Amino acid sequence: MKHQSNAVSMTEGSISKSIISFAIPVFMGNLFQQLYNTVDSLIVGNFIGEDALAAVSSSGSLIFLMVGFFNGVATGAGVLISKYYGAKDDRSVEATVHTDIAFGLIMGVVLTVLGVLFTPQILRWMGTPPDVLPNSIIYFRVYYLGSIGLVMYNTNVGILQAVGDSRHPLYYLIFSSILNVVLDLLFVAVFHWGVGSAALATIISQFASAILSFIRLTRANGVYKVTVKNIRLDRRMLGRIIKLGLPSGIQNSIISIANIVVQSNINTFDVNAMAGCGSYSKLEGFAFLPITSLAISMTTFVGQNLGARNFERAKKGARFGIITSMLFAELIGVIIFVFSPWLIALFNSNPDIVRFGVRQARVETLFYCFLAFSHCIAGIMRGAGRAIVPMLTMMACWCIVRVTFITIMMRIAQVIDFVFCAYPLTWTLSSIIFLIYFLKADWVHSFERTKHKHRAA
């Protein structure tokens, strides 16, 4: 098999070097993505005002509700590609890659239609205040018009990362991040086109990165090269992708629904609470950077090594990834805890907005280590083909327990701190469950059993 020089086998050499060298470009890419997501709020908050800031900064849950399902399903393709790549199964890699691209195009169209049609109703269900609702509808509808660009970028990057290429996605994100900042300033600060133009700047940037990553795939020299005429749905591979990815898609959607319930409770306070908590959520995104980067690394590392039957290497790499992720996440948590008054004020200096953001930061940030642990174990389990495990655990803890806790406590007293406490509580609970499973379950042999089933079929 002829491997492209930018594709990396993680089945040999130093474990720590393999994981870190893969994770650093992912981390940097996520950093630039988080920066250009944050820029929307910074520019809108400073050039338009509190209502517009509330509309944009509280957007995370609704966006992830739609996008998270399709991205979750797409992770099934990444798991398959990494395993087939590690096992040197060229035909299966080619079939999975082209099926993944075709599926992403279809899902992008579906997401566009659903997002544009249902955004107003979902925002009303969330209890969005009447003075914020018009800006929210405009922002989300424009955002969802660019769904194909977002879905296809994530699909393309998932393929590149599955074969160990995390550098090129970084380059594309750097370009699109700079483009987004320039367009944000031009549309909002110079032309004064309003909150919808911030979403327009984002989707133009997303399309740019999607096009660049697709061109990269079509020019690759490795077995994962995309040939346009071969883009079609292979029913057998699509079935495997959905089987592995559907639990993650369901998990993402359920968690998003739970977070929308949380956001609905925040919306019952006032615009300042929405803007303050939304601003904090942008800062929290930076804590997710090492978490997400190492979780993705774990999925690829574990998938490739289980595909190559390097069981002990997979276990050692998993332990290294967990410890590293928790340390970095906690360090960022401490930084946000200490500097949250100044960081929140960057979005808007209104004392009430800053007060709500700081209150949330002071409750949640010191528990980021448990958030990291849960995500890292979930990444490991996906790489091992056991996506149902994180799905059930996170559905139970991050949805059922979280929503139940908030519902009960808010009926006792209308205090926003109860909403904040729900996050560290459920992160800790899921970490306990994941720890027990990680230590007891024979997850390292999952791929072997799956492979034998496929051969028997």
| pLDDT value for 447 | 53
Dist CA 77 CA 238 (whole Å): 8
Residue 317 has pLDDT above 80, yes or no: yes
Nearest one of 377, 399, 400 to 389, comparing CA atoms: 377
pLDDT band at 457 (very low <50, low <70, confident <90, very high): very low
When the pLDDT of each residue in the chain is averaged and rounded to a whole number, the result is: 83
Of residues 330 and 256, which shows the higher confidence score?
A: 330
| pLDDT value for 229 | 92
What digits encode the pLDDT tens for the residues 30-84? 777 777 667 767 777 676 766 666 666 655 566 666 677 777 777 778 878 888 8
What digits encode the pLDDT tens for the residues 175-188? 888 898 899 889 88
Identify the residue whose tokens are 């991050």. 398
| pLDDT value for 4 | 44
* pTM (two decimals): 0.71
Dist CA 136 CA 198 (whole Å): 12
| pLDDT value for 2 | 43
The amino acid sitting at 382 is: R
Residue 391 has pLDDT above 60, yes or no: yes
Dist CA 139 CA 143 (whole Å): 6
User: What percentage of residues in the chain have a pLDDT greater than 70?
Assistant: 89
Residue 6 has pLDDT above 70, yes or no: no
Quick count: other Cβ atoms within 10 Å of Cβ 438?
19
What digits encode the pLDDT tens for the residues 344-388? 998 878 899 999 999 999 999 999 999 999 999 998 988 887 878
Of residues 446 and 286, which shows the higher confidence score?
A: 286
Torsion of CA 187, 70, 247, 265, to 10 degrees: 40
What does the chain come to in residues?
457
Of residues 72 and 96, which shows the higher confidence score?
A: 96
User: What percentage of residues in the chain have a pLDDT greater than 90?
Assistant: 27
The amino acid sitting at 387 is: A
305 with 313: CB under 8 angstroms? Answer: yes
| pLDDT value for 167 | 84
Nearest one of 403, 387, 396 to 432, comparing CA atoms: 396
| pLDDT value for 372 | 94
| pLDDT value for 286 | 79
| pLDDT value for 54 | 66
Range 103-119 average pLDDT? 89
Burial class (CB in 10 A: 0-12, 13-18, 19+), 442: exposed
Sign of CA dihedral 176, 177, 179, 185: positive
